[in-house]
């Protein structure tokens, strides 16, 4: 009889203990799943960081191929014969596929009233950028004549802009004055000629905000 009683008490104890011990195990499993998700998220973050690093490396490589970070070598001295009616254009360094490559000089047929501007390299935002050469019309080396006196009548709401000297086909040409409609809060700065590098350069007139 006692054996039967003890067996029944043991079974009752087992039934009462099992639910209590099962709950921590379920919580442990949930925590393990949460930890697995966190580890997976961290792995994905590391993968994304590595992908971004590779993309940045490719962008840097692309930039290196587009523009150099160092100045080009010294320009080579090239021998050439003078040709009547032609201008000698000296060779230059080009940037191709991440390397400087020398391009030999050549003759260009002269253009009356124009001069040849040699190509050059300029630094912009930390990189070297090639500026092509080309023909340009040089400005005058002497100052323009004195402005002509013009007669005009005041007109309400309009501003008289004086005439000016322009440089056309290698000589000074007069452009008569005209009226400009006034702009509230603005003043008009007249055109002018400025001397730069031994030449006179025209600066157009413009409206600017009144001080």
Contact 201, 192 (CB under 8 A): no
Q: Helix (H, G, I), strand (E, B), or coil: what is residue 73? A: coil
pLDDT bin (cut points 50, 70, 90) of residue 41 is confident
Q: Which residue has the higher pLDDT, 54 or 105?
A: 105
Q: What is the mean pLDDT of residues 133-152?
A: 90
Q: What is the mean pLDDT of residues 55-78?
A: 75
What is the rounded CA–CA span in Å between residue 20 and residue 9? Answer: 17
Helix/strand/coil percentages in the chain, nearest 5: 30, 35, 35
Least confident of 12-26, 72-86, 108-122: 12-26
pLDDT bin (cut points 50, 70, 90) of residue 145 is very high
DSSP string, 35-58: HHHHHHHHHHHHHHHHHHHHHHHH
pLDDT bin (cut points 50, 70, 90) of residue 15 is very low
């Amino acid at each position: 009889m006692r054996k039967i009683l003890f067996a029944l008490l043991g079974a009752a104890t087992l039934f009462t203990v099992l639910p209590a011990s099962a709950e921590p195990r379920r919580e442990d499993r949930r925590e393990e799943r949460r930890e697995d998700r966190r580890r997976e998220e961290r792995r994905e973050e590391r993968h994304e960081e590595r992908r971004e690093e590779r993309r940045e490396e490719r962008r840097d490589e692309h930039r290196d191929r587009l523009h150099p970070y160092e100045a080009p070598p010294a320009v080579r001295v090239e021998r050439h014969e003078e040709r009547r009616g032609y201008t000698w254009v000296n060779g230059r360094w080009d940037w191709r596929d991440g390397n400087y490559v020398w391009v030999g000089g050549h003759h260009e047929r002269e253009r009356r009233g124009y001069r040849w501007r040699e190509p050059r390299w300029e630094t912009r935002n930390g990189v070297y950028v090639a500026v092509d050469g080309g023909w340009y019309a040089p400005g005058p080396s002497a100052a323009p004549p004195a402005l002509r006196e013009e007669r005009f009548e005041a007109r309400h709401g309009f501003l008289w802009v004086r005439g000016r000297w322009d440089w056309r086909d290698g000589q000074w040409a007069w452009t008569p004055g005209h009226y400009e409609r006034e702009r509230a809060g603005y003043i008009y700065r007249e055109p002018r000629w400025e001397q730069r590098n031994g030449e006179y350069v025209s600066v157009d007139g413009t409206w600017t905000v009144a001080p």
